[in-house]
Chain A
Amino acid sequence: MTTPAGGTPPASDPAHGDEIGLRNQIRARWHALPELTRAGISIGLFVGLSILFFFVDHALAYGTLTITALFWIRRLPPVPYRLAAQVALVVIYLIAEPRSVGYVLAVGFAMTWVPQRYRTYTYPAAGLALAVLYPFYQDRLFTVPVFGVWPDVATGVYMLVFVMMAVGLNIVVGYAGLLDLGYVAFYATGAYTAAWFASLQFPHTTWHFGAVGIDPHLAGIHVTIWLLLLVAGVFTALSGIIIGLPTLRLRGDYLAIVTLGFGEILPQVARNGDSLFGFNLTNGPNGITPLDSLGFGHRLSSLTGGFLPANYLSCCSAKVLGHQIQSTDLFFWTALVLLMFTIFCSLRLQYSRLGRAWIAIREDETAAAAMGIPLMRTKTWAYASGAFFGGIAGAYYATFKSATFPGDFFFNISVFILCMVILGGMGNIWGVIVGASFLAYLNQEGLANTGAWINSNIHVGGWHPNLDVPLYASGIYGVIILVVMLFRPEGLIPSRRRAAELHEGVHDEPLYDTASAGA
C-alpha cells in the first residue's frame, strides 16, 4: 500500500499563501500555527484516534497506527532512516500477523525507491503484474479494517469494465472537454449489440459463426463474442457519430442537456422495444438472456495445448500456483486485456495530432478553429472514440453477466461514470483508473462490507445502528464528489494541465468583439 501521492501539488505553495480554495485556506491557517502546536495536535489526533478505535475494532487501531507510521516514514531522510523504518515495519508485520500486510507494504515501499525517471514504465508494469496475479493471491490477503476482505475476482471484472468505460469517457470529457451526461447510452448500445448477435433473441433466423458451447442447430444468431466485441465497438462509435453530429454544435451546458436526453432515450427504447411495430427487438423489461459464452473453440484450444480455453464456462481443471483456475478468472484476465487495449489507444491518442487538437478545443475553441482545427469533425472523433470503448465495455459486461436488462442503463450510471472521471482527475488516465476502480469497488462490495462492519462493531450502550449502507450509495458518492470538489477540484491524480485550468480558469468567454462591435 503506498501513501497518497499528494505531497507536492504543483499549483499551490503554502509558503506563499495562495489562499484560493478551501483546502489552501485550511492549509494556510495550519501552517500559520507554531510548529510545536502543530506536532502536538497531529500526534495527539493520531494517538487519540488509535485509542478510540481500539475500543471499536482492534484491526482498525492497528491500521490507523500503520497509516500514521507511513505518514511519518515518508518524511524521514531516505538513507538510512527511511529504509530502516520501512524494513522494520515490514518485519513487524511478517512476525506478527497478518503477514500479507507485510508483503503488501514491502511491494509498496519497493515502489518508492524506483528512481523518478524510471517510474513512467515501472509503475504501470508493476500495476499490471499485480493485476494479472490478483486471482492467485486475492483470497490470501488480509482483511482491511472497515472495508473487509479484498474484492473478489467477479467484482474485479466489474471494476475493470467500469474502468474501461471511465477511460473511454475521459477521452470525451477529459481530453476534449465535452460534458457528456449520457454515456450510458453507449454502454447500452454495446450490451444490446452483443445480446442480439449471441442469443436466442431472433428465433426465426439461425445463423452460427464461431460461437462456442452451444448446439450448432440452435435457433437465433450466434456470432463469436470476439468478433462481437469489435462489432459492438464499431456500431457504438457509429451511433456516437450519429448522436454527435447534431449535438456537438452546442457548447457547454447545452451539450450536457442534450446528451442527457439521449442517455434517457436509449434505455426507454430498450424498455419499450419488445413490440416495435410488432417486432420484438429488445424483449422489453425482461431483457435478453442468456448470452453465448466466451471461448476460443476446440480447434484453437487444442492447437495451443489447452492454454486457450475452448469455453470459459466449462473450464477448468488446471491448478496453478495452488489456485484452482475458474471461469471468473478467465473473464478477469480477458477484461484486463481489453482494458490494456483501451489504455494503450487512449495514451497513443493523447500524444498525437488529434489529442493535441482535443486539448486545444477544450482550452479555446475559437483559437483552435483559427489554427485550422475543424471543430465538428474533431469533436465527433472524440465522441466516437469514447463511444467505441463504452460499446466494447458494454458488450463484454453483458457477456460476462450473460444478460442485459434495460434497468442496467439508467441515468445514474452515466453520472456514476462521470464521478469516476472527476474523482480520479479529468484528463489523467492513471487518475481515472484509480478513481474508477475505487468507486466501482465501493458500489459492488465496499459499501456492503462497510455496512456490515458498522453494524457489527459500532454499538453504543446496547443500541445497534442496523444500517443498510448500500441504500445510501448515491448520497455517499455525492458527499465524496463534494469533498473532492472542495478540497482537490483537479481530482486525486490530476493532469498538470487540468489542475492549472481549474486554478486559473480557461479562456472561454465568447468571441471578444461581439461586445465591442456595438460601441
Chain B
Amino acid sequence: MTLQVHQLVPTITPRDAVGNHTFRLREILRSMGYSSDIFAMFRHGEVAGDTYLADQLPSDAHAVIYQFSIGSPLAERWARHPGRRLVNYHNITPVELVGRWDGLLDAEVRLGRQQMADYATRCHHAICDSEFNQSELDELGYVSTETIPVLFDVAASPPDKAITGSIKRSKRGLQVLFVGRIAPNKAHHDLVAAVKVVRDVYGNDAHLHIVGTDGPPGYRRLVDEIVQTAEMSQHVTFHGSVSQSALVAFYQATDVFLCLSDHEGFCVPVIEAMHHGLPVVAYDCTAVGGTVGDGGLLLADKHPMIVGAALARIAQDQGLADHLAAAGRRRSADFTLERTTERFKASLTRVLDHPPDQP
C-alpha cells in the first residue's frame, strides 16, 4: 500500500515563495513513490482544483509536513496528527519589526512565535531554509533539525527587452536594484538613504529600482515620505510586482543588487541576482550572511556612509564588479533546484523511514 505523506499549509497561493516551494516538494514526494497532496485552510482560486481543504487531511497519513511561516489555528491540527510530524520552517518575522505596522499581522506573528515554542516536543524532525532558522528551532529545544534551502528555480525566462532597453537608455549612473515586498523588515528606507549618499557624496547619478508588492500601507507611506524628504522622487522607481521576464530584465540591466533587510529567513532574490551575474552588496544579519556566503560584499554596518562607499566602489572598480559577479555565479550554483531536490530526497528518505511514534 502506498504510504501517504501530505503537506499542511495555512494558505496556498500559486506565485509566492512558500507556495512554489510547497508544490515542488509535493512533486518530490510523489517522485519518491509517496501519495502526496496539499491541504490548506485558505486556497487561491487558481489552485483550488489541485489542493484540498485542511479538514480533509487523512488521519491515517504516515507523515504530515507543516509549512511553517506564520501563526495559524491549523498548526494545532498538525500537532495532534497521529502520524510522523515534520516541520518545514521558513521563519517568522519578529513582531518588533512588523507588529506596529499591521494589527492583524501582529496577532498572527505572535501566535506563530508561540506555536514555534509550544510544538518543539511535538515535532519529529524540522527542515529549515537556513542555518539561522535552524538555530532558532534548536534554541527552542527541537530534537531533530537540519538545513536545506527553499526549493526554487531561478528566474530563467528570456528578459523583457522593453525593460532592458528602458533602463539602458535612461542610465546615467549606478543602477541599484532590490527585489522584495515593501515591508518594514526589508528596510527600504535605508536603501533610499544609501543611494542618496552615492548621489550627494560621490556625485554618481545613481538610481534605485524597487521591485515588489506593497506590504503594510503605513510602511509604504513612510517610504514615500522618506523619498520626498531626501528629494529622491526622480531617482527611485517603484515597479510593483513584475513578470518573470521583467524580473530577469532587471537582474540583467542593473549594476548592483543591494539588500539592507533587518530580517530575512533566506532571501531568494539574492541568489537570483547572483545567478544572473549581478554583484551583491548586503547587510549581514539574520539569514542573509548565510545565503550570500562568499558570493558578495557583506557589510557589518549599514550606516548610509558605509553602504554608499561600497556602492561607489563598485561603480568605480569594474574589476571588483566582475569579481563579485563571478563569485556570485559560483555561489548560486549551490542552490540549484536539482541540488536542493537531491538534498530533500536524501533527508526525507531518512526521516520518513520510521513508524509513526510519539516523541
The answer to whether A and B interact is no
Using a CB–CB cutoff of 8 Å, the interface residues on chain B facing chain A are none
Using a CB–CB cutoff of 8 Å, the interface residues on chain A facing chain B are none
